[in-house]
Structure 1
């Protein structure tokens, strides 16, 4: 009987998917009144983005109609009229924390919430991020467990609404360093919070990197220096030794993973760059020698300006969620918030858009654009390039993200006014498409 069932199933499969039978394709045409298909180059006027099965087929001048496409029997076509809008590639945020959002009582969640709870939290943050126009993000440090990987994979399957997620898993950090979530808890609680990213010594650090890859990490993040928001009065300088940094980077690269380093202090920044990291997050006390190392290596700087802006009113608030240790370090870092990135930009360092969302509410990511223009001195076009073309390269995804070119993912957004005239128009995205599927449309 079993053999008959198998034979019937094979016959049914053969009739359903006959060799040589054409598969129906899904076509989408976006009519754009203004189109920045290749950020860094001049925008087009009155153009069409032609999409087939979720990927960019081509971009043409004028408004292409369905009857002009080479449709086969069974193919479907949808036209989106954005002739009154400004269209550009989906935005990329190279530094978010989807499982986290700092607020009063946030540390209690790390104890109270299960892995499933954290996944639900991350799913909500992912949706807010996508609706803000960010179609791809890199999650650089999540709550210990599989929550971030579950959300990433759920988005990829279509079970969860959110951007494409490139996850680092647990941050690679020293015991007691920035990234050790057990800091500040009593020993009983701390023993249950040991992160798989904690390592001491070169051999241990190699193992920690391999553990993240085993768990499913797309990228690797390390903490080269202490951090503002960790519960440790350790300043903001280098924490890993040079041989540990070199072991982390070499191991990650040998396993095909890009490496970015959280780094505030100047010596920690330079040590991480010498070890071969692909990017530096924050870079607060960057000096001239560090700028030269950036230029030599081609590494990206992700300045993450939004926390500096968002934390200013929190530091001295009587209702602040920050501890005295955190406040002291925040004041130290904020003194240079409007200086280091400007000097880096003037010195020719490559800037990649990154916000550290989670330190401030998810969905407010685009406020970083105004800071890049006002604080760093970037032009609106340069700021957009940092979140598209350069953002894709920073993630190692330049072949499929960052511009609207043939073969790339059909990830695009639209705003009502010219972002090259006022980059803050990107704070009000009215249309979001990811992979050819629309998630947000302009109000009627």
Structure 2
């Protein structure tokens, strides 16, 4: 019989609902074996009295770019104009950056990440490394490269300096796959799935934190439908970087599963998203930081680029009250939001402190909802018997003060992943 770890005097946040004080949680092997007020002891138990500390599920970052380091305007200037995302450094360096970010995320209490794309299929390769035990890090749900079209805003290549298209006509650079027409879209999606992508990423619009044309489309309606239908035929999902109301509605009409950002969503979009079971990953820390970078005053309300922020100040609390499934996740690794300890929880602060959303709800986004986004809610995301023992112990109550999660070195006392401590200061 395996030795059990028995946490007593637990302040339990199970991933949903209110905090339950005075609980006992039992871990046996890699699973949660008991959750109750009192559980009969067994010989050989390792008992840990938490003295009222909070025990909660590990968190999910639902929009993850592990290889990003200091991504911003300088990448595309100062003699490096025309550089594609995913080609700013050699592939091995990007992979090492990704591996480093995984360590940082895990020690911040993130036990699961859902990718928003990366170059060179590093998601898939790093997932293999974690699964093989070669490195420690969060569980990864790998995403495709950006599946988009020639001349889209991600097509930054200098036309006189890039190589001729391959014989199949599909260009593949770093983080992007450029395909045109329904037939090539189908082939590109199938190829990404062949490589191991569990989610396909498309770019119907640009814009996030700044204005964007309401008529611009990165893909035609037919191309978007082809991507969604092809992914669904292979039991994969589609996520879309989308900002404008018009494009959001087109994504919903096409059956896109996950919307990233959605800056200009309105109540019609919200109603459709709830009806269809769409998941929203709003990524509002990036928008907040942009507002601070452009002016000494946070969010100059006369700036047209701030309209998306103002819209989301109104819409996200409404969406939360209406029951829309939302998950935290942002462009970490961009300028102003590096992969550093505690930075991931700064996004959670935005929803609570700037938008007035209850901290317990945002904690649900980061745990139970995150597992649903990853397609792992039958395995993890909540503290329930039979679930994976992905557990955090926090000295304090993040449902009362979510800011403590931004200081994991001070407040995060234990991290358990699949029943094994990766940090233990109890």
Q: Is the pair's TM-score, using the shorter chain for normalization, greater than 0.5?
A: yes
Q: In the TM superposition, what whole-angstrom CA distance separates every residue of 1:254-288 from its partner, at most 9, and x where no partner exists?
A: 11112221110111111111111112110101123
Report the counterpart of residue 305 of structure 1 in structure 2: 284
1:106 and 1:133, CA in 2 relative to 1: closer, same or farther beyond 3 A? farther
The answer to whether residue 202 in structure 2 is matched with residue 219 in structure 1 is: no
**What SS class does the counterpart of residue 27 from structure 2 fall into?**
strand
Aligned: 1:165 with 2:137: no
Whether the 8 Å contact between 1:236 and 1:329 is mirrored in structure 2 is no
Distance of aligned partners of 1:264 and 1:205 in 2 relative to their CA distance in 1, 3 Å threshold: same
| SS at structure 1 position matched to 2:51 | strand
Match of 2:66 among 98, 102, 106: 98
The equivalent of 1:188 in structure 2 is 161
> Counterpart in 2 of 1:5?
none
Q: Is the 8 A contact 1:237 1:265 kept in 2?
A: no
* Cα distance, 1:210 vs structure 2: 0.7
Paired residues, what number? 397
Deviation of residue 421 (structure 1)? 1.5
Equivalent pair of 2:62/2:330 in contact (CA under 8 Å): yes
Query: Hey, what's the Cα distance between the residues in 1 that align with 2:353 and 2:163?
Result: 42
Task: Report the alpha carbon displacement of residue 195 of structure 1 after superposing the two structures with TM.
Answer: 5.6
Distance 1:185 1:306, change over 3 A: farther
- Cα distance in structure 2, aligned partners of 1:151 and 1:308: 28
The answer to whether residue 182 in structure 2 is matched with residue 202 in structure 1 is: yes
Q: Distance in 1 between matches of 2:398 and 2:250?
A: 37
CA deviation string 1:331-361 (max 9, x = no partner): 5644545344234335543322222323321
3-state SS, counterpart of residue 59 of structure 1: strand
The alpha carbon displacement at 1:185 in A equals: 4.2
Confirm whether residue 406 of structure 1 aligns to residue 385 of structure 2: yes
> Taking structure 1 as reference, are residues 404 and 208 closer, same or farther at Cα in structure 2, changes over 3 Å only?
same
- Are 2:235 and 1:260 equivalent residues in the alignment? no
Q: Kindly provide the CA deviation profile for residues 372-412 of structure 1, in whole angstroms up to 9, marking residues without a partner as x.
A: 12344321111111111122122221101210112211101
Q: Which residue of 2 aligns with 1:20?
A: none
Residue of structure 2 in register with 1:21 after alignment:
none
Asked if residue 352 in structure 1 is aligned to residue 327 in structure 2, the reply is yes
Q: 2:26 aligns with which of 18, 41, 50?
A: 50
Superposed CA RMSD in Å reads 2.9
Shift of 1:202: 1.7
Flag structure 1 segments of 5+ consecutive residues without an equivalent: 1-23, 70-76, 318-327
Secondary structure of the residue aligned to 1:410 is: coil
2:201, 2:238 within 8 Å by CA — same for their partners in 1?
yes
1:416 is aligned to 395
Matches of 1:417 and 1:148, distance apart in 2: 33
Residue number in structure 1 paired with 2:407: 428
- For structure 2, list consecutive stretches of 5 or more residues without a partner in the other structure: 165-171, 297-302
Structure 1 CA distance, aligned partners of 2:219 and 2:92?
Answer: 32
Matched position secondary structure for 1:40: coil
Residues 29 and 64 of structure 1 are in contact (CA less than 8 Å); yes or no, is this contact kept in structure 2? no
After TM superposition, the structure 1 stretch with the greater mean CA deviation from structure 2, 240-249 or 188-197, is 188-197
Shift of 1:165: 0.7
Cα separation, partners in 2 of 1:296 and 1:48, compared to 1, 3 Å: same
Maintained 8 Å contact 1:415/1:428:
no
Return the match for 1:134 from 83, 107, 110.
110
Q: Which moved more, 1:294-303 or 1:343-352?
A: 343-352
TM-score (norm 1): 0.81
CA contact (8 A) 2:389 2:417 kept: yes
Q: 1:27 and 1:340, CA in 2 relative to 1: closer, same or farther beyond 3 A?
A: same
Using the TM superposition, give the Cα deviation of residue 190 of structure 1 relative to its aligned residue in structure 2, in angstroms: 6.8
Q: Does 1:82 align with 2:82?
A: no
CA shift in 2, pair 1:437/1:236, >3 Å: farther
Residues 290 and 215 of structure 1, relative CA distance in 2, 3 Å threshold:
same
Paired with 1:41 and 1:204, the residues of 2 have a C-alpha distance of 46
**1:366 partner SS:** helix
**Aligned counterpart, 2:270:** 291
**Secondary structure of the equivalent of 1:152?**
helix
Aligned to 2:5: 28
| Cα distance in 2 between the residues matched to 1:304 and 1:197 | 23
Q: Give the 3 Å change call, closer, same or farther, for CA 438–237 of structure 1 in structure 2.
A: farther
